Amino acid sequence: MGLQLPERTAPAPRRGRRVGLAVLLGVALVVLAGCGTDTELERLAMPDPVTVEGESTLALWQGAWIAALLTGGFVWGLIFYVIFRYRRRHADEVPVQTRYNLPLEIFYTIFPIIMVIVFFDHTIKTQNIVLNDEDVPVQNTVVVVGQQWSWTFNYPEAVDGEDGQPVNVFESGTGNNIPKLVIPVDTTTRFELRSPDVIHDFGVPGFLIKMDVMPGQDNHFQVTPKKTGTYAGKCYELCGVYHSRMLFTVDVVTQEEYEAYLQGQYDADFYSDDPVCGGSFANTQVGLDTEENGEVCQ
């Protein structure tokens, strides 16, 4: 004689509904949070974009999270609904045995492919905005050199030298001296990235962009800062023993302050005809030829 289990009825769908509601509420919160850009919650943990280009990156980040969470919410909702709605109610009960469901299988094959295509499309569009250097007039150029293990920032043809010819001014850091990059606000500055030794990666969290600095490959991108301030930057590519010392600060200043800074570097004798390819430290690395480095940097 089998044990007769009491029949359980009402609470199950209600609990399922409650879980579904909680999932929905969570997703709705994130969607609502993703609508603004003022707080860290609204930016979904992204830094506040300092540049015009960074706004597009942030929009892509928020959009991708909202799309992913809507999909996640839908899937979680279905999972929990099925767990509660179709759970076993009797010891001797055999659930409905479904071997396949063609429309459903077609749906969950096609839909992720469509999602990937949409994500890819938005990524390419954002990339074209962020890296667009054809329609955006570049007003200022900085040659950024990543060297083991610091940075050199060159400002080509920044000030007029004694003979009236424009000269390059620079600031070169070392492991013990964190260098400062200075750029003007509301101006499009292009960073020309050069490396005399190994692959580094130039990035500023506030700009929402980073890019590899590779020997033999001339990478570049540009930013248009929209507010003044001091921001932190660093190397994002493990480049050797003292990689962690490759820090720098970025000062976004007014045009007048920028010109005063360039003149100050010239007055302090930090100038040369051509961009400097790293500090003296870089040229003493084993296997590096100074003359060859010069060519890499042009």
The residues of the shown chain that bind Cu ion, judged by CB under 5 A, are 200, 235, 239, 246
Residue 186 CB, nearest approach to Cu ion (Å): 30
Residue 158 CB, nearest approach to Cu ion (Å): 25
Which amino acid is present at 21? L
Residue 243 CB, nearest approach to Cu ion (Å): 5
Closer of 209 and 246 to Cu ion (Cβ): 246
Closer of 246 and 253 to Cu ion (Cβ): 246
DSSP letter assigned to residue 103: H
Are 203 and 213 in contact by the 8 Å Cβ rule? The answer is no
Tracing tokens 């990543």 back to the chain, one arrives at 146
- Using CB atoms within 10 Å of the CB of residue 121, give its burial: 0 to 12 exposed, 13 to 18 middle, 19+ buried: exposed
Q: 205 — phi, psi (to 5°)?
A: -50, -40
Closer of 158 and 235 to Cu ion (Cβ): 235
Residue 238 CB, nearest approach to Cu ion (Å): 8
Count of beta carbons in the 10 Å neighbourhood of residue 52? 16
- Residues contacting residue 226 through CB under 8 Å, at least 6 positions apart: 50, 51, 52, 185, 186
Which of 202, 210, 189 has its CA nearest to residue 253?
189
Residue 131 CB, nearest approach to Cu ion (Å): 22
Residue 152 CB, nearest approach to Cu ion (Å): 12
Tokens at residue 174, please? 């070392």
Helix (H, G, I), strand (E, B) or coil at 116: helix
Q: What CA–CA distance (Å, rounded) separates 33 from 66?
A: 10
Residue 276 CB, nearest approach to Cu ion (Å): 17
Closer of 81 and 236 to Cu ion (Cβ): 236
Closer of 147 and 168 to Cu ion (Cβ): 147
Tokens at residue 91, please? 């010891």
Closer of 34 and 205 to Cu ion (Cβ): 205
Closer of 246 and 250 to Cu ion (Cβ): 246
Which of 24, 29, 26 has its CA nearest to residue 81?
24
